[in-house]
Structure 1
Amino acid sequence: MSPTATGPHVDETGARVVGEVGLLEYAECQVSAIHGLRDIFRVASEFAVASADPPSVIRVSTWAVSATDDGPVMVCTSDTHPELAHRLSHVVIPPSLVVPELMASAGEFTDWLVGLRSEGTTLCAVCAGVFVLAETHLLDCRDATTHWAFAEELARRYPKVRVDASRMVIDDVDIMTAAGILAWVDLGLTVVDRMLGPSVMLHTARFVLADPPRRRQSLYREFTPRLQHGDTDIREVQARLHACLREPHSVEHLARAAAMHPRTFQRRFKEATGLTATEYIQAARIAKARELLELTSEPVAQISRSVGYLDVSNFRRLFQRTTGVTPSEYRRRFGIVARVDRREYSSAGQPARIRSTPSR
């Protein structure tokens, strides 16, 4: 069944239907994302009915492939406004619960997605769902994000896609992509902002206890060094680096330890790890600093020195550039020790005792 274009809709309550968002169900997709997006759009519609002039709602439908004698067809499996003709303004491809390498081909609905795009529908994809959209080749020569752990595979499989894994949501007007497996919240709120306005979006975010749409996933990205690259000399250098992060390291020193010319070392290191030696050292140090901020109450200055940065102001600057937040803010949000301390209340209900206050 193909959506048909009609004029503006008004539902049976008199509310203006500002658009229809279709949610694509496919094998191994994250069903909780479909249910969660339904809830976000319903909450947003409740706020828009109460506060917008005229009262407005978002129509939500779900779509799946159905086998028929004539072959697979797309059918609507649920609809908040079944009395109205379909006119999809947005389609959302939710995350997959399996890694991209194990996902089934999206061939059954690529033609459907391409057809919708030609009719003006905005196509949206989240996390590994971006691979479904990429299979249509509609992302060729376009910016797209995905989960940071899948970015390299997306770029390898679809080299024409400009992968930017630093961003949480990329809203490119007719195509939207979102990064992590829970980034459907960010994407859903972005769609609400577009369809019902920023005021309704903020009310919705507060009601569902979510932050407004995040723009970067650098705060959540982990450093996962490549080790299975086959270059044993470079792997030994990596092991030394991780064992001695507080020590000063220069390309010349590392090349000498590996018995290589500096230019040869730099070339082989980049080929093996995907990063220059300087980028690798910085990433490893920041990753260790994040771990210490999460698991200890050591002052920031002490952590800075322990990962090789004697200049704490330089460390703070690099940390914020990498993660998007200061070390103290990172600890406040992710520090296990700080969270446990804040929960320690006396039997008399006195304020929590914080044994160690992070340095600022």
Structure 2
Amino acid sequence: MAAPPEDFRPHRVVVLALDGLLPFELGIPHRIFGRPRDERGRRLYEVVTCSVRPPGPVETDADFAVHIAHGPQALAEADTVIVPASYELGPVYEEGRLTDELAAALARIRPGTRLASICTGVYVLAAAGRLDGRPATTHWAEADRLQRLFPRIKVDADVLYVDDGDVLTSAGVAAGIDLCLHMVRRDFGTAVANDVARHTVVPPHREGGQAQYIHRPVPDPQLATTTAARSWALGRLHEPIQLRDMADQEAMSVRTFTRRFREEVGISPGQWLTQQRVERARQLLETSDLSIDQVAREAGFGTAQSMRQHLQQALGVTPSAYRRTFRTGVKA
């Protein structure tokens, strides 16, 4: 993206800490959003934690409390509000309604503020009516309950996170890292997000969805996996790749390969290939001077029109608009 103006101020992320919170999830936004800086060394985000009450202790699900230095007033100054999981949501979790205290706190959020949840934090957004008629996700073990309690939500239990523009939701625990990295990528580009991922020692983009983490009987260790096929495909994204080609790398039938791939990755081989090609296109648009047609060929989309359709679907912008935003910008 273009260099920040002289009056630049960091994007303000406010994390709402509720009683019964999980300390690990509370720390995710601070770790991910606390890293990015521009070429002058200025922080791109300011991260603040607040409570629904005046400053003071908030209970966790561990044997310690955390002191929160900000009250609900901080929500009024947020550009993004993140609600981590809590094990003491009370009426929110049991009846799908907000407490008066929580409702009053959420009412301080300005219209247009981006909202996000980690794991069961989604119940707060749902009870506030922010997810009615919209897609959302949560931990796979909570998906059925969330759908029953809030039937107007389009719950997708198979994905790691859902980006619906101004409202984003994630699956359980570590998927909060995926979601926060995605927001950094959306705000400041792949290079900045990759830098954060490297320093956090996590993959910049995890493959697949939650299906790969749901408990299943342990497979026979002698059975082949799809790892070699994925590695083979990643080295040939610029070439036409057929499902049969990938199955041949594992000496499997197409039917067996497709089933095994879904079990391991959580999505179909075709969906996975598209994801990888979109990521490749993003990298080339940000870091190279290749023309749009050349990027389309290198990423394996074949034509600029095909790449445009896929990027519009995945990112909501055209390749040209994406390049204008991220080609010359904040250096990792």
Aligned to 2:329: none
- 1:256-335 equivalent positions in 2, closer than 5 A: 287-288=216-217, 291-292=218-219, 296-299=221-224, 312-324=253-265
Task: Tell me by how many angstroms 1:196 deviates.
Answer: 2.8
1:95 to 66, 71, 85: 85
- 1:4-19 equivalent positions in 2, closer than 5 A: 16-19=8-11
Q: Deviations over 1:14-51 (max 9, x none)?
A: 8932310000000111122222321221222xxx23x3
Matched, 1:189 2:181: yes
Q: Deviations over 1:227-281 (max 9, x none)?
A: xxxxxxxxxxxxxxxxxxxxxxxxxxxxxxxxxxxxxxxxxxxxxxxxxxxxxxx
Structure 2: distance between partners of 1:315 and 1:161: 34
**RMSD of aligned Cα (Å):** 3.6
Matched, 1:133 2:125: yes
Structure 1: distance between partners of 2:76 and 2:121: 23
Task: Tell me by how many angstroms 1:92 deviates.
Answer: 0.4
Matched, 1:60 2:47: yes
- The residue type paired with residue 317 of structure 1 is T
Structure 2: distance between partners of 1:219 and 1:25: 29
Aligned to 1:179: 171
Is the contact made by 1:167 and 1:217 (CA closer than 8 Å) also made in structure 2? yes
Larger radius of gyration: 1
Matched, 1:204 2:196: yes
Aligned to 2:105: 112
Task: Tell me by how many angstroms 1:299 deviates.
Answer: 4.8
Change (3 A) 1:200 1:100: farther
Q: Deviations over 1:262-309 (max 9, x none)?
A: xxxxxxxxxxxxxxxxxxxxxxxxx34xx125xx345569xxxxxxxx
Change (3 A) 1:300 1:23: closer
Is the contact made by 1:168 and 1:183 (CA closer than 8 Å) also made in structure 2? yes
- The residue type paired with residue 44 of structure 2 is V
Aligned to 1:350: none
Aligned to 2:292: none
Change (3 A) 1:99 1:56: closer
- State the SS of the aligned residue for 2:259: helix
Change (3 A) 1:115 1:142: farther
- The residue type paired with residue 113 of structure 1 is L
- The residue type paired with residue 25 of structure 1 is A
Change (3 A) 1:141 1:215: farther
Structure 1: distance between partners of 2:165 and 2:9: 20
1:160 to 133, 152, 167: 152
> How many percent of aligned residue pairs carry the same amino acid?
25
Task: Tell me by how many angstroms 1:317 deviates.
Answer: 1.0
- The residue type paired with residue 84 of structure 2 is P
- State the SS of the aligned residue for 2:148: helix
Task: Tell me by how many angstroms 1:213 deviates.
Answer: 3.8
- 1:209-228 equivalent positions in 2, closer than 5 A: 209-214=201-206, 216-222=208-214
Task: Tell me by how many angstroms 1:165 deviates.
Answer: 1.0
| Structure 2 spans left out of the alignment, 5+ residues | 56-66, 227-251, 268-332
Q: Which fold has the larger relative contact order, with Cα–Cα distance below 8 Å and residues 6 or more apart in sequence? A: 2
Task: Tell me by how many angstroms 1:129 deviates.
Answer: 0.8
Q: How many pairs were matched up?
A: 223
Change (3 A) 1:213 1:24: farther
Task: Tell me by how many angstroms 1:66 deviates.
Answer: 1.6
- The residue type paired with residue 151 of structure 1 is A
- The residue type paired with residue 141 of structure 1 is G
Structure 2: distance between partners of 1:166 and 1:203: 27
Task: Tell me by how many angstroms 1:216 deviates.
Answer: 4.0
- State the SS of the aligned residue for 2:131: coil
- State the SS of the aligned residue for 2:147: helix
| Structure 1 spans left out of the alignment, 5+ residues | 1-8, 69-75, 224-286, 302-310, 327-360
Structure 1: distance between partners of 2:162 and 2:114: 13
Change (3 A) 1:216 1:299: closer
- State the SS of the aligned residue for 2:210: coil
TM-score of the two chains, using structure 1 as the length reference? 0.54
27-36 or 90-99, larger mean C-alpha shift: 90-99
Change (3 A) 1:218 1:196: same
Task: Tell me by how many angstroms 1:110 deviates.
Answer: 2.8
Is the contact made by 1:168 and 1:178 (CA closer than 8 Å) also made in structure 2? yes
Change (3 A) 1:207 1:219: farther
